[in-house]
Structure formats: structure tokens, C-alpha cells
A and B are shown apart, each in its own frame.
Chain A
Amino acid sequence: MLKAKGLTRVYRLGGEEIRALDGVDFHVRSGEHVRIVGASGSGKSTLLNLLAGLDHPTAGSIETSAGSLTEMPPARIAEYRARWIGMVFQSFNLIPHQSALQNVALGMLFIGLPARERLRRAEETLTELGLADRLHHRPGDLSGGEQQRVALARALAKRPRLLLADEPTGNLDQENSARLAEWFARLSAAGLTIVVVTHDQQLAQRAVHRTLEMSYGRIVRETTHREVGPTAEGRC
């Protein structure tokens, strides 16, 4: 599904070189649920941004089922992101002046679905996530947990092959974190490939196949909790 080799990302800040990722080798199989943990500044989010094609590695390569991400032109990377990737962020990243329904429908704008189909899928996904009575509410009128579910709905409605989540429970209370963990478990059980950066033990303990621990831009430990089932393999 996804294979990174020698992945390196170097930033220059005020003349100083910061090595956020330092030769990371990494792979994710279809249907696998991978958790990435590590201290702040260990390179977790940088790795996730590179996998999403939002950032470009200084060195190394990322091979995906859609092709080599490091060799794709920018327009194809954007298309890959639109069609293959669903992203969930710690700070939700919803557009504040749009309703929940519009935010979710917007997630499908760049895959060329007609407006009616986008709205139908958005409504369906929000309803599945328990937000049927919040369709026309703006993010400012929703609780943190509801906003994160809208963000999850936006990521899922376009039916991505890979869900990337960066500290998705970071801004949620315990109850909402547990609810989101439950959703991730269900999605993983349904065979969706998930890479999640988290400190949340609840999220970590539910249905994770592997945990990677990062430190100073490298993967320092890899723990396999369980193997990917044949059903899940077959999905992607």
C-alpha cells in the first residue's frame, strides 16, 4: 500500500539546519492500522505530512499504490490526496463559515463528484457519525467532539484508501476521545488503512496492528500487536 525508504526532511530555520526526519524506512500494508508515537518534535507530524503529499522529502522516496509520490508532479500529488487520502487533524481544520454539511461536501469537490452526489454522501456520512441533527450547524455552533466527527466525516465521505490522523483526540475530552477511538476501531475492522499519530492510550489500544515509536526523526522501536486479517487485505 505504502512504502517509504530513507525518508529525510531537513528544515532551515535562521541558518540552522533542523533534521526533522532522518532516513526513515517505513511501510504500511493495505488494511493495516498503524499507530505512531513519540515525544514532541520527534518527526511524527512531518512523516504524516510527507505521506499525505503536503510536504516534500529532502531525500528518500515514498511509493504508493498510485505511484511514486516523490516523482509525481504537483498536480498528480494533489489528485492523489483528493482521491486516496482522508485527513483528520488535531485542530479539526473545518471552514468556519460553512455548515457541517458544506464542510463534508467540500472534501469531495476535488474528485469531481456532482454537487448533488456530494451532498447526499455528506449527509449520509454525518448521519452515520450521529450528526443528523447538526447538518446545518456551523463549526462554531458545535462542540469539540462534534467538530472532530464532522472532520472525520469529511475524511471518510470521499471513501479514501488511506486515513491519516494527526493527534485526532488532542483537543477532545475523555468521553469524546473514547467515542472517536470506537470509530477508528470500526473503520479498521472494516478494512480501512489507517495511520494515526497519537498519545491517546484509548486510541492506541483499540484495533491497532502495529506501533512505531519515533525519536529525533528516526523510528526507534516497532511493535506488532496483531497481524492484518485476510479480509482487510482484500479491501484495498
Chain B
Amino acid sequence: MLGEFLGMAAGNLWRMKLRTGLTVAGVAIGIGALVTMFSFAFGLQRNVSAEFRELGLFNTLHVMPGGPSGGPGVVVDGEDPDDSAAAAEVVGEDTGGAADSIVILDDAAIEAIAALPGVVHVYPQDTFDARLVWGSQEREVTAQALPASFGQKRGVRKILAGRFFTADSVPEIVLSDRVLRAWEAAPDSIVGDTITLQAAGRGALVREFVGPMLEDERLPDELRALGQGISEFYLSRLGENRCRLAVVGVIEVERGWGFRLHDALVPSGIAGGLDRLGFSNPIELLARMSAGAGAGYPLAVVTLDQRADAEAVREAIEARGLQVLSFAAEFARMRRAFLIFDIIVGVVGIVALAVAALGILNTMVMSILERVREIGILKSLGARDSQIRWLFLVESGLIGLLGSVGGWLLGWGVSRILSLIVGRLLVSQGNPPIDFFVMTAGLAAAAIGFGVVVSLLSGLLPAARAARVDPVQALRRE
């Protein structure tokens, strides 16, 4: 019987082509808007989630020094900042710090964190400004000191050529593809070559700024001699700020959402021996200043085992007075924001669909008014009220199905076009192309199903009205 009704409904809709077409178009626009917006919302979530997963951030914690009111932890207020043994000792205990104490993040603290159950490894965020020299090519970069164990970390960027350095004190360097692009060189062409890394160190600062001042002839000779003596003494205590390093690998750093590696990755042992400034931007400088001059790192990255209880590790680190940023927790917060975004998107789409539903209601009411006599005939032939109701519901459902399929195609087309435009825009600005829209079979099925259900709901009232038609009155109608 449903097949018969489908045939009859299709025939009735076909006879009223213009009206049907306009109503179907209304549904298609509503569903199309809904599909496009949800596709964007899902795409955004997918991209962020994929990036988190790719970078291994779901099992990554960022640890920062504890603030002056950081609570219990390493109490170094008034202590020698270089006394890392003392700091390590305190990191291992919950001593209950003073409200204005500073909890530093130094090597001892990092070792204590590394000893926590579930922690795979910890490395400090240790960056500095440097100049790379390769033959006649030069480039200013931000260099990053990393332990060799970072190479085994899940989520390390794709290695385009060569390998990661294998020990903390080997004179090796890994460069980013960005540097190679700037030098217009292929990744393979540099692996094996030796380059010079010149860090922006304290010695360079002295030579750059103090040197010219001491050469000022207006200064009294005694003062100038004293200044030069102090400078030389200071410089003699500093190490070299340059070293020759073998390029062992090139990694890809372009893709990403902000959790990027820097352009030159240097073994931590090598970087530790260089005369260099311990910051490469004002934020890091402020972090250093808040942690105490020269005392510890502004940030350490903690990688957890997949099965580790991230919350327990976080609590254990926080109990030591350090600040922890958990990406998994941040992502959970982001998911809540995404949910709100989805709801807003859904409401906007539903408003469009509600307008389409009114169109269906209008079309069906008109159709019934025009076909009262036909309903009477069907009843005289033995049609039950429920069958009349179904006949009209099938009609509205068919409008919904056509409109929903059309709407999905429309949404798909719009999202592809927008994706193409945005992709080209990103590429033109030197960014990798990102597909901001996700079109899944589930979204298609949900959109079509939702459109059909809304159409059936719109058809309920007219169908009930059709079922109530009095056959005697209907057959008398001309």
C-alpha cells in the first residue's frame, strides 16, 4: 500500500510542478544552510582534535614556574637560585610554602617530575635567538634546545630528510623546512653539511653596546680603561657563542595550529655550553624574571604514557607548587565551547528549516483544499481515514526527501566552494591549505532524516484535516 501511495503522491506532486518545486527549494535552502554550518562546525572540531592528537597533546602537560602565591612546593625565596640540589630536594616534598614564595622550574624540578609514575619524559622549553650560516647563506632564527629523547616522542613532526640527533652532546643540528625554503635548498642537499650557529649571547651584547661606549673619546682615560678591564674580565668568563654543527635532519614545521617547533633544534648539551641569552621574546623574559633571574626554565613539556592518569600527574605536579596546563583538560573545555557553537549553528539552521516547514504546511493545506472531492471519492471507494492521512503524509515526506537531498547537495556544493576559496587564500598567504568543512555520511543521513521528519511533522496537521473530510459533503462539491 505504501508503494501505491508513493506513486500517487509522486503523481500529485508532479502535477503541481511549480508549487512543488518552490516548496522543495525552500526545504533545500533550509537543509543546505544547516548542512553547511554543521559541516563547518564539525570541520573545526576535527581539525583542532586532529592537531591535538598529531602533536600528542592529549598526553602532554605544560609545566610552568609557580607564582608568588603558588602554594606548597619549592621554596626558594631568599635561597641561592643556583642551588639546584636544594631545589630538587624541596620539589620532592610537600613542605607548605609561604604565600609570597616563588617555585622555580629548574633541572632538579624536572628530574622530580620525570620520576612521577606515568611520565615518559620531560624536557624544558629552552629557546634562544641565533644566526645560522651555511656557506654564503645566513638566517636569523629562534633555536630550541631539546634532549635527544625528544626524537622518540610521539607526534614529532615529519622528518623530511635525515634523522633526529641521537645524543644530548653531539655537535648536530636539525633544521626546519622553513629555513630550507628561505635558502631555496632541497632538504636532502643540506643533510651532512656543517653549518655555523651563532647565538645571541651576553658577550655579543657587551661587544655590541658596551664596546662603542668605551671608545667614546669624551670618557676619561681611567674610566675607559676600567670599563675595558671589566668587559674583558666578564667576556673571559663567558663561553663561546658560536659552534659548528653537522646538519643531520630536516623536519616539517609548517603545518599546525600554533604548537610549533622552532627553526633550529640543537641538542640540549650543546646549547647548554653556549653563551646565549635565555629568552627569545618579551614573554619569556618576563617568565624568567618572575621565576628569578637565571633561575630555571619558563616552561617544561611533560609527555605521559598513553595509559597514565593525567589528572593524578597534574595534581602531583601542582602539589609541588608548579603551574600545570593540561591540554586534555583544555580540549575538554574547548569541546564545551564547540557544543555551544553547535547549538547556535543548529538554532540558526532550524530557523531556516522552520520557514521551509511553513512552506510545506501551506502547500499541503492548499493541496487538500483543491482535492476535497478527490478525498471524498477515495473514501467512497473504501479508503480508511488513516489511509487518507498516510497519503498526505507521504506527499509531505516526499517533499521533505527531495528537499533534503537537494539541500545536502547544496550544502556540499557551498562547503566545497568555500573550502576552495579559503584554501587558496591560506596558500596565497604562505599557509598550508586546511579543509574547514567535514561532510560525513552521518551528517548526510542526519540532514536528510531531519528534513524528512520536519516535513512529516509539517504534514501532520494537513493530513489530519484531510482524514476528517466528510465524504458526503466532499462528493457534493463541484
Distance A109 CA – B378 CA, assembled complex (angstroms): 9
- B interface footprint on A66-85 (CB within 8 Å = 1, 0 otherwise): 00000000110011011101
**Given known A-B contacts A93-B377, A95-B377, A49 and B472 have beta carbons under 8 A apart:** yes
Say whether A89 faces chain B, with CB atoms less than 8 Å apart.
yes
Q: Which residue of A lies closest to B5 (CB)?
A: A109
B60-78, CB < 8 A from A? none
The A interface is mostly helix, strand or loop, or mixed, namely helix
Residues on the B chain within 8 Å of A115, using CB: 4
Bin chain B's interface residue count. Answer: 20 to 34
Residue-by-residue, is B139-157 near A (CB-CB < 8 Å gives 1, otherwise 0)? 0000000000000000000
Measured between C-beta atoms, what is the minimum distance from B368 to chain A in Å? 15
> With contacts A75-B386, A78-B385 known, is A52 near B15, CB below 8 A?
no
A54 at the interface (CB under 8 A from B): yes
Judging by beta carbons under 8 Å apart, are B381 and A107 in contact? yes
Interface residues in A179-223 by Cβ distance below 8 A to B read: none
| Given known A49-B472, A54-B472, A95-B374, contact A78–B383 (CB-CB < 8 A) | yes
Known: A95-B374, A95-B377, A115-B4. A110 touches B382 (CB 8 A): yes
Pair A54/B4 contact, Cβ less than 8 Å:
no
Query: Per a CB cutoff under 8 Å, which of B11, B381, B475, B478 touches A110?
Result: B381
At the interface, yes or no: A117 with Cβ under 8 Å from chain B? no
Judge whether A111 and B382 touch: CB under 8 Å. Answer: yes
A81-B381, A82-B382, A107-B381 given; A55·B472 CB < 8 A: yes
Distance in Å: Cβ of A202 to nearest Cβ of chain B: 25
Closest to A154 in B: B381
* Interface hub of A52, A75, A78, A95 (most chain B Cβ within 10 A): A78
List CB contacts (< 8 Å) of A85-142 with chain B: 85, 87, 89, 91, 93-95, 97, 106-107, 109-112, 115
Does B431 belong to the interface (CB within 8 Å)? no
**B281: Cβ under 8 A from any A Cβ:** no
Query: Which residue of B has the minimal Cβ distance to A109?
Result: B4
The closest CB in chain A to the CB of B373 belongs to A93
List A contacts of B385 (CB < 8 A): 74-75, 78
Q: Find the B residue at minimum CB distance from A80.
A: B382
- Bound-state Cα–Cα, A12 to B361, Å: 32
Decide: A54 and B380 in contact? CB cutoff 8 A. yes
Q: Report the minimum CB–CB distance from A140 to chain B (whole Å).
A: 14
A83 to B384, CA, bound (A): 12
In the assembled complex, the CB of B228 is this many whole angstroms from the nearest CB of chain A, namely 108
The answer, yes or no, to whether B194 is at the interface (CB within 8 Å) is no
Classify chain A's interface size.
20 to 34
Contact B384 A75 (CB under 8 A): yes
Shortest distance in angstroms between B238's beta carbon and chain A's nearest beta carbon? 97
CA distance A109 to B382 in the complex (A): 9
CB of B166 closer than 8 Å to a CB of A:
no
Contacts of B471 in A (CB 8 A): 54
Residues of B with C-beta under 8 A to A89? 380, 475
Chain A residue contacts of B95, Cβ below 8 A: none
Within 8 A of B (CB), among A24-71: 49, 52, 54-55
A81 CA / B475 CA spacing, docked (Å): 15
Q: Which residues of B contact A79 (CB under 8 A)?
A: 382, 384
Chain A residues positioned under 8 Å from B378 (CB to CB): 106
* CA gap between A81 and B387 in the complex, in Å: 14
Taking A75-B386, A93-B373, A97-B15 as contacts, is the C-beta distance between A82 and B381 under 8 angstroms? yes
- B4 touching A78, Cβ below 8 Å: no
Report the separation of the CA atoms of residues A115 and B374 in the bound assembly, to the nearest whole angstrom.
20
CB within 8 A of B387: which of A83, A87, A95, A110? A110
- Is there contact, CB below 8 Å, between A52 and B4? no
Closest to B383 in A: A110
Chain A residues near B373 (CB, 8 Å)? Answer: 93
A54-B471, A110-B387, A115-B4 known; A93+B380 contact, CB < 8 A: yes
Q: How far is the CA of A145 from the CA of B431 in the complex (A)?
A: 79
Contact between B386 and A87 (Cβ–Cβ < 8 Å)?
no
Q: How far is the CA of A83 from the CA of B376 in the complex (A)?
A: 17
Chain A: CB-nearest residue to B478: A91
Which chain A positions have C-beta within 8 A of B379?
Answer: 54, 78, 81
When distances are taken between beta carbons in the complex, the residues of chain B under 8 Å from A87 are 380-381
Chain B: CB-nearest residue to A166: B475
Least CB separation from A110: chain B residue:
B382
Using a CB–CB cutoff of 8 Å, the interface residues on chain A facing chain B are: 49, 52, 54-55, 74-75, 78-79, 81-83, 85, 87, 89, 91, 93-95, 97, 106-107, 109-112, 115, 154
Beyond the given A82-B382, A110-B387, please list 18 additional residue pairs across the A-B interface where CB-CB is below 8 A. A55-B472, A74-B385, A79-B384, A81-B379, A81-B382, A82-B383, A87-B381, A93-B377, A95-B374, A95-B377, A97-B11, A106-B378, A109-B381, A109-B383, A110-B381, A110-B383, A112-B1, A115-B4
15 CB-based A-B contacts, threshold 8 Å: A54-B379, A54-B475, A55-B472, A78-B387, A81-B380, A81-B381, A87-B380, A89-B475, A91-B478, A93-B377, A93-B380, A93-B475, A106-B381, A109-B1, A110-B384
A-B interface, 9 closest residue pairs, ranked by CB to CB distance from nearest: A82-B382, A110-B382, A78-B384, A81-B382, A54-B471, A93-B377, A75-B384, A55-B472, A49-B472
